[in-house]
Amino acid sequence: MFKTNNVASRIFERQIRTPAPGTSVHSARRFYENLVPSFTIYDVECPDHSFFKFTDDGQYFVCFSRNRQDLIVYRPTWLSFSCKGEDCDNNQELPPQAKRFESFFTQLYVKRLASCNELICKDFFLYMESNQYGIFATSTAQIQDARGTDGAILGVPSFEKITIHLFRLEDGFKLDEKVFHNDCVNLTHNMGAFLYDDLLAVVSLRYQTIHILQIRDSGNLVDVRAIGAYCREDDELFLNSSSQLAGNRGDLVDNGTNHDQPNSNNSFLSGIKQRLLSFIFREIWSEETDQTQRVQCLKKKFYFHFQDYVDLVILKVQFLDRHHLLIKFGSVDVGASRNTDQLPAFFAVYNMETTEIVAFYQNAADELYLLFERFCDHFHATSINSMYMNFISSHSNNIHALEQLKSMKNKATSVSQFVKKMLSSLPLNCQSTSPSPYFDQSLFRFDEKLISATDRPRQSTDHPIRFISRRQPNILKFKIKTGPEFGGADGRSKKYSHFLFHPAWPLALSFIQPSLFLPPSAVNIHFRR
């Protein structure tokens, strides 16, 4: 849309021309080509906290204390300084007062989050932008010898107490909490929870229940439903009343049975397991028209694998919209095993209102992959409120990302392995990609192996990370250098680097860690001078 690259002439052009319909945000984002974080302050002296994340609206910077008990929230600001003397503007060096962490971040508050025997899960944070509420999690240590209790499945670790906290980030006021006792929720990288608008889904692995909670504007966490053993709110009542009848008849037949056995062994499968199995049954049933063929098909495909289907456990969940969930089913060993590609996994689309399974896919299903390729954006289910989510580059909304995907597909040795690998990222983690325009593939080209919108620590290189403009190929816009080249002294030691970009400003932090488990040895600030 702009004819020149000069920022002043672009501003002038913006005054007299309107962009093509529907592209006003895209053309506004092109100004990020001109405002880049090209200046670096190396090795900033900063408080010894575990810096975690910018909120997606850029208002808060969330950190946890090293002992993982406190929450510290900063407000990102911009540096301001005064200098005495002549020719201040042309000074290459910033005055020392400006080169501090406090120039960029103002501490708002420190709040104790975890009580004495609990620790904050330092990879878990969800942000509700509309009310500026933050969701954190704390948990006690893992119980070593978890006894099987009623309803709990075996093979899953147990934690005495897992708490989900709801905080108002403006002032650090704790609004509400939800406690899970003797349970297991996978809290790393937001895997066990998904926030959509005001609905929060939490997967209780141990009790195989999906808890749907609603965050009210008043700050209350309200239970909406619990999907697992029961699908509708009155299922429990109905099943209990009917199992009483079965129990009466059963007592006459088997007197010597152990009455400590959980009820589910004696009665039929209920809840989501029943919905799943009946859906699979009907699908296989409707494949053949001939009656004998049908029965053969059922025997082969359904009854032969019946116990495997019954043993499936809910692993991960995401919202597709307010009523539909995408649930990943798998074997209970997945948590322990590293090599998740080999184990079978299934995806089901479940409608919470009608309590029906709408679709069921194997983890290498081409159909699901096609949907993922074409509508990837809709898997990043978000409400209409957060507009910036529409502009996060994915292979469904960006031609460069799509080309990258296609070239990966062509290079892959086996299509089904490629499909499995792509689908293993489903259901997607909530709020795991940074909305920073510097990761916009239509503005910049960068090496995805060194830096990307999903902030994870990666092995760092000594070379600076280059961000090259897309529109003017081969013109370097800016470089992120993580440290002065160390040279031969510790050239062998592998370092890990980790980046946090502010969602809107030309501001980024980089952290250099000697190992994944140690705190960062250096923190750099990259910003536009």
Partner 1 sequence: MGSMLGNLPSFDPHNFSQLRPSDPSNPSKMVPSTYRPTHSRTLPPPDQVIATEAKNILIRNIYQRAEEKLRSKHAATEHLIPEHGCKQTRPSTS
Residues that bind partner 1 (CB under 8 A): 242-243, 245-246, 249-250, 253-254, 266-268, 282-283, 285-289, 320-321, 324, 349, 358-359, 367, 371, 375, 378-379
Please report where in the chains the tokens 């699979």 appear, as a residue.
Answer: 280
The dihedral built from the CA positions of residue 330, 402, 410 and 338, taken in this order, carries a sign that is negative
Distance in Å, CB of 511 to partner 1, minimum: 36
Distance in Å, CB of 345 to partner 1, minimum: 18
Q: Give the long-range contacts of residues 331-337, CB within 8 A, separation 24 or more.
A: 332/153, 332/154, 332/155, 332/156, 333/155, 335/155, 335/156, 335/157, 335/186, 335/205, 336/155
- Which lies closer to partner 1 via its Cβ, residue 268 or residue 303? 268
CA-to-CA distance for 446 and 455, rounded, in angstroms?
15
- Residue type at position 299: K
CA-to-CA distance for 179 and 193, rounded, in angstroms?
14
- Which lies closer to partner 1 via its Cβ, residue 285 or residue 391? 285
Please report where in the chains the tokens 């100004």 appear, as a residue.
Answer: 31
- Which lies closer to partner 1 via its Cβ, residue 378 or residue 421? 378
Phi and psi torsions of 334, nearest 5°: -60, -35
- Which lies closer to partner 1 via its Cβ, residue 286 or residue 342? 286
Distance in Å, CB of 396 to partner 1, minimum: 10
Distance in Å, CB of 243 to partner 1, minimum: 7
The dihedral built from the CA positions of residue 299, 303, 304 and 305, taken in this order, carries a sign that is positive
- Which lies closer to partner 1 via its Cβ, residue 235 or residue 283? 283
Distance in Å, CB of 256 to partner 1, minimum: 14
CA-to-CA distance for 386 and 525, rounded, in angstroms?
27
Closest to 386 in 3D by CA, of 176, 33, 126:
126
Distance in Å, CB of 104 to partner 1, minimum: 38
- Which lies closer to partner 1 via its Cβ, residue 253 or residue 489? 253
Distance in Å, CB of 61 to partner 1, minimum: 32
Closest to 429 in 3D by CA, of 194, 214, 120:
194
Distance in Å, CB of 373 to partner 1, minimum: 12
Distance in Å, CB of 261 to partner 1, minimum: 11
- Which lies closer to partner 1 via its Cβ, residue 155 or residue 250? 250
Report whether 104 contacts 78 (CB < 8 A): yes
Closest to 62 in 3D by CA, of 503, 397, 529:
503
Please give the span between the terminal C-alpha atoms of the chain, in angstroms, as a whole number.
Answer: 26
**CB neighbours of 108 closer than 8 A, spacing ≥ 6?**
60, 73, 74, 75, 171, 172
Instruction: Sort residue 189 into left (φ over 0), alpha (ψ -120 to 50) or beta.
Output: left
CA-to-CA distance for 363 and 311, rounded, in angstroms?
17
Any bridge partners for residue 126, and if so which?
135
Cis preceding-peptide flag for 427 (omega within 30 of 0): yes
- Which lies closer to partner 1 via its Cβ, residue 297 or residue 504? 297
- Which lies closer to partner 1 via its Cβ, residue 378 or residue 463? 378
- Which lies closer to partner 1 via its Cβ, residue 425 or residue 461? 425
Distance in Å, CB of 268 to partner 1, minimum: 6
Distance in Å, CB of 378 to partner 1, minimum: 4
CA-to-CA distance for 140 and 162, rounded, in angstroms?
7
Distance in Å, CB of 279 to partner 1, minimum: 10
CA-to-CA distance for 133 and 214, rounded, in angstroms?
13
- Residue type at position 364: A
- Which lies closer to partner 1 via its Cβ, residue 80 or residue 289? 289
In SS3 terms, 153-165 reads as: CCCCCEEEEEEEE
- Residue type at position 336: A
CA-to-CA distance for 69 and 165, rounded, in angstroms?
13
- Which lies closer to partner 1 via its Cβ, residue 239 or residue 405? 239
